[in-house]
Structure 1
Amino acid sequence: MAEKYPPNKLAVLCGRTKMVCMWVGGMSARAIAQETGTSVTTVYRWIRRWQKEGNVETKPRCGRPRTTTPEEDQKIVETINTMPEKSASEVISLLRLQCDPRTVQRRCQEKAPCQYFQYAQNQETSYAPYMSYDRPYYPVNYPYHSY
């Protein structure tokens, strides 16, 4: 489960699961709310969800559909692994995808956040992921990579 969810989502799921476990263990909703620092309504919401659906996971929300399929996502990552000198635009051309270069960057970030991205310092002196649209982009473990 640790690979499926980022740390903040794991903490949320653990908190919800804890509420349900405390309720199954015999605690009242009011006592659970005091113990967890939430409202009684929130406790009952997660108990009802667990009773109805058997889980306390966050439901998918509406939004724009993805422009790439899981198979295309895998091909993007494989292409970057085998040809790290390719830019995001070149990967799109090579795979004949109908997406923005930023989509290629996001797919690589989703699969291996620290492996594919250099970190460039921005104006506020914080570090942000950086991948060029038009120039080669080398993974950190690429043998000829230099900063």
Structure 2
Amino acid sequence: MSGHTSVRHSEAIISAVPVMDRAQRGQIIGMWDAGFRVAEIAALMGISRPTVQRWVRKWQESCNLLDLPRCGAPRKTTPDDEQRILNEVRNNPHTNACALRETLNLNLFANTIRRRLHESGIHHHPPATKPKLEERHHAARLQLARQHVYNDLTYKSHL
């Protein structure tokens, strides 16, 4: 059945055109040519009537069920490039986008590599760190421990 791709935009979800393969599109046209009504086709295929109407209209206008070219720049990575990026990150999870570009000899911007990682569900999280203790901190802690070494446990509740 068809699914919807959706893009989260602030708090609202904007639903895109239903994703359908050519076989499903051909099924719609075949049923329509056989005399099925739009509502019947939609019910049988589990899709909306506007989707059925859209594909019937496109068929009537152009006799074509192929995806037309869309606006935007073509993708700069091939599926092979994307797989190489993912394999390298799995083998070396502490690497970064710039190091990946150099290691894999990719002619890409680091942001492109980051986008491919995000699309695959891999996100960078900086490691949790705490400030390093200096010598004065160690000395103060040692002094506090020496002052209270002989106090009983009830004294600790007053600190």
TM score, norm. by length of structure 2? 0.47
**Structure of greater Rg:** 2
Could you tell me how far 1:39 is from its partner in structure 2?
9.1
1:101 aligns with 2:114: no
Of 36-45 and 99-108, more deviation after overlay is shown by: 36-45
Other-structure match for 1:13: 20
- After TM superposition, the structure 1 = structure 2 runs for residues 114-125 of structure 1, keeping only pairs within 5 Å, are 116-117=122-123
The share of aligned pairs that are identical, in percent, is 26
1:81 aligns with 2:90: yes
The count of aligned residue pairs is 108
TM score, norm. by length of structure 1? 0.50
Task: Answer yes or no: is the 8 Å Cα contact 1:13–1:57 preserved in 2.
Answer: no
Question: C-alpha distance in 2, partners of 1:106/1:65?
Answer: 14
Q: Which runs of 5+ in 1 are unaligned?
A: 118-130, 137-147
Could you tell me how far 1:16 is from its partner in structure 2?
4.9
Task: Answer yes or no: is the 8 Å Cα contact 1:67–1:99 preserved in 2.
Answer: yes
1:32 aligns with 2:16: no
Could you tell me how far 1:18 is from its partner in structure 2?
6.2
Q: How much is the aligned-residue C-alpha RMSD, in angstroms?
A: 3.9
Question: C-alpha distance in 1, partners of 2:114/2:68?
Answer: 26
With over 3 angstroms needed to count, the CA separation of the structure-2 counterparts of 1:37 and 1:65, relative to structure 1, is closer
